[in-house]
Structure 1
């Protein structure tokens, strides 16, 4: 899978031949950290050890009390007081080889920080529990090393898909921004011409509603969130439309083909583009 790594800036990690982490039972932290290193450098050899020595040459993580360990008393914390674990420390240094700085920070917030917190505190996390289940059972004839690398392969697949999605979303953002550059800055209704993710491109604009083709046929009118990652909307759809039948909506608005309005007021649908435009304009007036 092509991730699009910045190869020029990645020259250091490409030249690292060996990486070392702890042996024995494993957790999501050392597993995802290993998967990340393998994505950055497919030729790196990962060794699982019980003790670090001065002769080791390479990246050492989640063991040894070095740059990429977090078991010492003076371990590092983020500004929001979430402690770093090995994956977070490696991401802090190498994450921008995969994506831009803003995206790398968001990835840390929504994906890595919950894993780091789980590793430091033992709190529940779905990915952490899934990785933990790869550890051999007491009656299973499998070494922890074999199980570890099976877990790494699983984690690597997750990361690759996440990285590809981020790359795709960045491409979509540029497409939408190009569309917006041809329109007046004060528009409040935006008709999306390409079927691409749009939230990050419109969050800092005056746009309240985005109209786009529905994969179920017809057109959707969707409210723009006040923040890309929040549920709060800039302008929700009118309360009196929500949860009504098509017959009721058509009677309320006199728009034929107004077939649906979500009960939470963030989305509605029309059979035609003309109907979608009329609905969006009407919603602005409430």
Structure 2
């Protein structure tokens, strides 16, 4: 039900926001380059149009400097980065700014070179997010900062990196991802051998519609789904010694997104990386014990479940583990299941005490 509601919410927002681009204003102009477009300037223009002062602005696509100089704000063209003048190009040889270099109060980990999307988000991101907060949600300043960073990490940063040619890995990736947003936006451009007459401004609007739905969904997810789980994780960390004397097992009463919260709160609470396992109720008569990964996106864990259980199921697993109600243990030992809370807890304790 919630997913349907969330989908409806961002779909309606996307529809409403998309139709802002039909309106024209003689007052405000957003400038960007013409010709082949990329995801970064499409997103930059869309985010600016979310702000009240630019919601009715005309998007001017040109490389004519005289026309760009008439614009109130310019992104991804012009060879100038100057926040005071509202000029946000990143193609200059001397440009090496990152979110951390421009916003050092956010920490040092945001070290990807910014694109025009990242520049707009750096300076206007909080204002943009505030336009998208549901009316029934009240965000504290600290919450807004958390959301700002998560949207950057999980949406904007990828676009910055791809546009600037920053590789995703230090070595050659083992497989390619060709379905990411930047690639899908790029596919809207005419093919090199197409003979059709195409109105590029209309195609640019299609790109904005595509980007808008993805961005709005991401923001709504982090505000309405992800953030509410934060206090549950905090409570579990504060009460972890009541679960097990080691403090290395935490318990959630239900399934929710916890990994990024756990890592953030471990740092905030200065408790190190001592938590090894998470217990949670998946559904009636179904509990999970999950090994904490070394980082939120890794498949490598701090301490996997007992190695003798890997890939074993049901009665055989219960016999091997000497624990009733076992359902499964993943072949890599990152997660296991039991029919009861007590059984899942015993699986965590046995794994914790095992010499791996």
TM-score by length of 2: 0.68
Q: 1:217 to 1:264 in 2, by over 3 A?
A: same
Alignment counterpart, residue 248 of structure 2, candidates 188, 200, 207: 188
Q: Indicate the structure with greater helix content.
A: 2
Q: Is the 8 A contact 2:150 2:222 kept in 1?
A: no
Matched, 1:48 2:78: no
Q: Secondary structure at the match of 1:190?
A: strand
Aligned to 2:161: 117
Query: Which residue number in structure 1 is paired with residue 234 of structure 2?
Result: 177
Contact 2:240 2:248 in 1 (8 A): no
The reply on whether 1:241 has 2:297 as its aligned counterpart is no
The match for 1:75 is: 95
What SS does the aligned partner of 2:209 have?
helix
Partner Cα separation in structure 2 for residue 232 and residue 119 of structure 1? 29
CA-CA distance at 1:81 after TM superposition: 6.5
Residue 177 to residue 17, structure 1, CA distance change in 2 (3 Å): farther
Residues 140 and 247 of structure 1, relative CA distance in 2, 3 Å threshold: farther
What root-mean-square deviation, in Å, do the aligned CA atoms of Structure 1 and Structure 2 show?
2.9
The aligned counterpart of 1:210 is 278
Instruction: Judge which range, 61-70 or 212-221, deviates more.
Output: 212-221
Contact 1:39-1:156 at 8 Å conserved across structures: no
Q: How far apart are the structure 1 equivalents of 2:79 and 2:307?
A: 57
Unaligned runs of 5+ in 2: 1-8, 14-26, 82-87, 102-109, 130-142, 168-176
Change beyond 3 A, Cα 1:145–1:122 = farther
Cα 1:44–1:174, aligned 2, differ >3 Å: closer, same or farther?
farther
8 Å CA contact 2:249–2:348 kept in 1: the answer is yes
Unaligned runs of 5+ in 1: 4-15
C-alpha contact 1:226 1:234 (8 A) present in aligned 2: yes
1:155 CA drift (Å): 0.5
* Among 61, 74, 80, the residue aligned to 1:60: 74
Select between 143-152 and 249-258 the one with higher mean Cα deviation: 249-258
SS class of match (2:288): strand
- Out of 201, 205, 229, the residue aligned to residue 149 of structure 1 is 205
- What TM-score do you get using the length of structure 1 for normalisation? 0.83
In structure 1, C-alpha distance between the alignment counterparts of 2:120 and 2:284, rounded to whole Å: 43
> What do residues 212-262 of structure 1 show as CA deviations (whole Å, max 9, x unaligned)?
122585111111123334333222111111001323211112222201001
Q: 1:128 to 1:192 in 2, by over 3 A?
A: same
Within the alignment, does 1:35 sit opposite 2:46 as a pair? yes
CA distance in 1, matches of 2:284, 2:48: 41
Is the contact between residue 173 and residue 200 of structure 1 (CA under 8 Å) also seen in structure 2? no
- Partners in 1 of 2:39 and 2:280 — Cα distance? 39
Q: CA–CA distance in 2 between the matches of 1:34 and 1:169?
A: 26
Note if 1:18 corresponds to 2:29. Answer: yes
